[in-house]
Amino acid sequence: MNIAHEKQKAREFLRGRYKETALAVVVYILVKGVCTALHGIYVYTCGDDASEILNFFVKSLPNLIIPIFHFALVKAIIDMTRSSEPVSFKTYKANLNYGKLALGNYWWNTLWVLIWFLSIGASCLIISKIIKYIIDVVPGQAGAVFGIILMLLIISFGIFLIIILISKPLSYCFDILILAENPENGVIKSLKDSVKLTEDDVYNLFLFNLSFIGWNILEFVTLGIACIWVRPYYILSKYNFYRSIAEKKLYYLHN
């Protein structure tokens, strides 16, 4: 998979079109910034003094609002590639109507990542308890040697679990693109399709995300201003990557 080629295609397509997405990106950044700031102010000023209901709402605010604006932005950029006409801010506002779908996508993805995280954590805890028990039961030097052998095995197993913990979220990363391209697919099918498409390309996806580290640093250094250019570039590059994999595998999703 030629990552540089997909990124080059995105740059060429967006050349002269950034004004179509600029306002949508600014709105997304502002919403994200306000939600994060409100959450931070609340935690700093109120702490545990507020009611449980208010506490839950404020802490959940970013996760209840940001995914809606993010999905609308992703869909607006995909809409740009599927229309010969310029995409206006009205398109972005119209995409906000997919709020329930956006939240369903976000929480369904989060649920599966959490399941894997908890499963791996539980596995590590159980194995560590077994090692401790064996070391305590087996007497003297034999127990220490056996414990070292088991420790080496657990380290190897731990590396394997870390790989799974990284690869699973990557295998889910196309779900929002699939759903934005085909809202009729639904949340569950979009995640399943993402897993099928990324089956042999998780490593390439890892390299793809790694290639944007410099751009992510630029976003941070410019206090988010660079997002106006970086976000559309990243989303469209990822969409090109997704389409390239889909075509390579002859896996067409309601074209």
Question: Residues 231-247: pLDDT tens digits?
Answer: 999 999 999 999 998 88
Would 143 be classed as within a structural domain? yes
**Interhelix angle 140-171/99-137, nearest 10 degrees:** 170
Query: What is the model's pLDDT at position 223?
Result: 84
Confidence check: pLDDT of 254 > 50: no
Residue 62's pLDDT is 77
User: Does some domain include residue 255?
Assistant: no
Number of domains in the chain: 1
Cα distance between residue 135 and residue 150, in whole Å: 10
User: Considering the domain boundaries, does residue 169 fall inside one?
Assistant: yes
Q: Is 253 among the domain residues?
A: no
Neighbours of 214 (CB within 10 A): 9
Residue 1 to residue 154: CA distance in whole angstroms: 34
- pTM for the full model? 0.84
- Assess whether pLDDT exceeds 60 at residue 48: no
Checking 48-52 for CB contacts under 8 A at 24+ apart, the result is none
List, for residues 65-117, the tens digit of each pLDDT value.
899 999 999 999 999 998 777 788 888 999 999 999 999 999 999 999 989 88
CA angle 155, 196, 122 (to 5 degrees): 30
Q: Cα angle vertex 53, ends 52, 55, to 5°?
A: 60
pLDDT tens profile 161-209: 788 888 899 999 999 999 999 999 999 999 999 999 998 888 899 999 9
Instruction: Give a yes or no: residue 67 inside a domain.
Output: yes
Look at residue 121 and tell me whether its pLDDT is greater than 60. yes
Residue 154 domain boundaries: 3-248
Separation CA 186–CA 188 (nearest Å): 6
Whether residue 64 is contained in a domain is answered as: yes
99 within some domain: yes
Q: Return mean pLDDT, the chain.
A: 84
